[in-house]
Amino acid sequence: MSAARARRRITLTAAVAVAVAIGLAVPQASATERPAVISPPRQPVAAAVSPTPPSPRTDPTAILLGVHEALGAYPDNETAVTALEGRLDRRVDVDRWFSRWDEKQPANPVASDAARGRLPMLSISPKKLDGTVITWAAIARGDQDATIRAQAAGVGSLGTTVYLTFHHEADLNSSAWGTPADYRAAWRHYVEVFRAAGVTNVLWTWTMTLGSFTSPPSTAGADAFYPGDDVVDRVGVDAYNWAACSAGKSQNWHSLTYVTAAFRTWATARGKVAVLPEWGSVEDPADPNRKAAWIHEAFTLFRGWPELEVASYYDATGTCAWSLSTSTAAATAFAQEASAATSHGRPTAWLTPSTKLGAAPLAVSFDMARSTGAGSVNRTGITSWSLDFGDGSAPVTGTGQPAKVSHTYAAGTFQPRLTVTDASGSTAFDSRPVRSAAKPVLTGGESNVTSTSATLSVWVSPQGLSATVRVAWVLPSGVEAGHTDLAVGAQTGTQKLVVPVTGLRAGTRYAWTATATSAAGTTVLARTVETPGPPTIRAVPAVNLTRTTATVKLRVTTHLLATTAWVEWGPGLTRRTPDVALAGATYEKGTEVALTGLTAATTYSYRVVARNALGTTYGPTQTFRTTS
């Protein structure tokens, strides 16, 4: 039960809360004392039929074990679930996830489950991320068909069976969405849109709360919300032992057998396969072992309930502390029961690489020993296996329980895949990414260049490894003017590093380098940056001398700024040629100025002058002599 739904449940009206409490606080019921089951309503017109996937359970004497796992300190759902699997020493069959209406499908956790061979159990709520409610009537009218088709495309692309629920626990606080009749119509339309889109990998999983199955119900009742056998493949209930953990809930301790009794009777009468999308218990402050015993009893219930296909524990703290981590005894009890043959309703493959990221060439050892066959205890029951390394090399195959295999990867990203087969011929797979990292990749640029400062930017892709980057700048003489050292975390994307540089010389071209080093090697990027400055002049002798004319060559480096140049000549350099405009550049500009009206056999003095925004430069005074 999520925190959001926990808050929603706390706001139940007093009348509903009392009804629930009364319904769950009666003495332990016998088989002949089950609550009455309401007669099924008349079935509506059947929805367009699309093939229903077969049961994922390959051993009907065992359950499919599922969880909804709290993130805790983990960065994402995949990491959290994998950590739980490590504690259980087994893969989970089913992973429960909750999505809002406008979340893109498949959601990342759902896609990750499918990629690793788990079965997603997905609930999509008709409420947007910003809290906007999408009414059932609007859905039934077709107002949301574009969104539903997008959801259908995403779910249909997964390539695995999905337990899909439209608006789980719709019987709680339903007035915001509409009436039970509105819900039934919305469910049917939702299924019809999926089927019209050709989606065939969904097991439609209708899920209510316990109050809809008690007699009398504390809601409008299960039958009031039931949309019809033709659009429902699985029926479910979220079942909890509240034991006074929340106001308005049962104040008594109840076994899961007792809690689910009315639902089981209802599901059996319907002839529907049952699932528990959520179940859990709190601790008893007076008995530290009572929750552990409750868990053992729950699995005893599962072993005697052949119509129950999935039991997915809510391993999180919502309204109450349901988490398995509330005590060592509870966690141990769950792990013990999870290891039993009757908790393995399908085979599971488990591929564990010794490393998923390293420098190329990367040697990886794959541990496959924890794969398990259907109806088998942990780490047993596999009859054959095949490991495709994902790099084009020949797969490795074997018989019996797999152990370890080693492989070396060249640089690249690969998706090795383990496929296992059990005694029944059923198969399962697991796939984990492996990245054999190449050296870092660098690009760079300069910006905000002034006469004394510049910004040096480096884009570094460390190829999944952590790296260090040194940015250094060097004077034309080869002497280092300064450097900055930076760290880049392990990531597969590109990170921008920005280095502000000050104290530069005006009108100077600096060489600068970025040197990135990771475990995979070193990459060096070399660039230059030139600061603007006053123009510089290179003196060149006058040419084309005649009795009355001469040509003066102007060789000016403008240092990035628009520059004006001219020639001063004659006695005292008092005469001046018209200005010549030179564009800003990093290289030397060349032009010529003709001097006319000269006197033969006469020596003249001249100099080139250039001016820009940062100053005026006077070239050296030179002379030439006209011919006689």
Give tens-digit pLDDT for 50-63.
678 999 999 999 99
Any idea of the CA torsion for 107, 231, 267, 295, to the nearest 10 degrees? -10
Q: Is 424 part of any domain? A: yes
Q: What share of the chain is helix, strand, coil (3-state, %, to 5)?
A: 20, 35, 45
CATH code for the domain in which residue 109 is found: 3.20.20.80
Q: Check the CA dihedral 281-282-286-287 and report its sign.
A: positive
Q: Is 44 part of any domain? A: no
CATH code for the domain in which residue 381 is found: 2.60.40.10
8 Å CB contact between 611 and 564: yes
Same domain membership, residue 518 and residue 385: no
Q: What is the domain count for the chain?
A: 4
Same domain membership, residue 72 and residue 184: yes
Give tens-digit pLDDT for 458-474.
999 999 999 999 999 99
Same domain membership, residue 496 and residue 602: no
Same domain membership, residue 247 and residue 146: yes
Q: How far is CA 513 from CA 95, 287, 442, 488, 587, in A?
A: 49, 67, 11, 17, 21
Same domain membership, residue 222 and residue 131: yes
Query: Which among 388, 419, 436 is the end of a domain?
Result: 436
pTM: predicted TM-score of the whole model, two decimal places: 0.76
Same domain membership, residue 183 and residue 269: yes
pLDDT, the chain, mean: 92
**Beta bridge mates, 240:** 280
> Cα 592 from chain centroid?
64
Give tens-digit pLDDT for 280-309.
999 999 999 999 999 999 999 999 999 999
Same domain membership, residue 308 and residue 380: no
Query: Which among 530, 549, 565 is the end of a domain?
Result: 530
Range of the domain at 422: 352-436
Same domain membership, residue 212 and residue 281: yes
Same domain membership, residue 609 and residue 491: no
Question: Which residue, 376, 378, 351, is CA-closest to 364?
Answer: 351
Q: What is the pLDDT of residue 408?
A: 98
Same domain membership, residue 128 and residue 69: yes
Match 């469910």 to its residue by tokens: 187
Same domain membership, residue 76 and residue 114: yes
Give tens-digit pLDDT for 491-533.
889 999 999 999 999 999 999 999 999 999 999 999 999 999 9
Query: Which among 343, 362, 388 is the end of a domain?
Result: 343
Q: What is the pLDDT of residue 492?
A: 87
Same domain membership, residue 233 and residue 163: yes
Rounded Cα distance, 507 and 118, in Å:
64
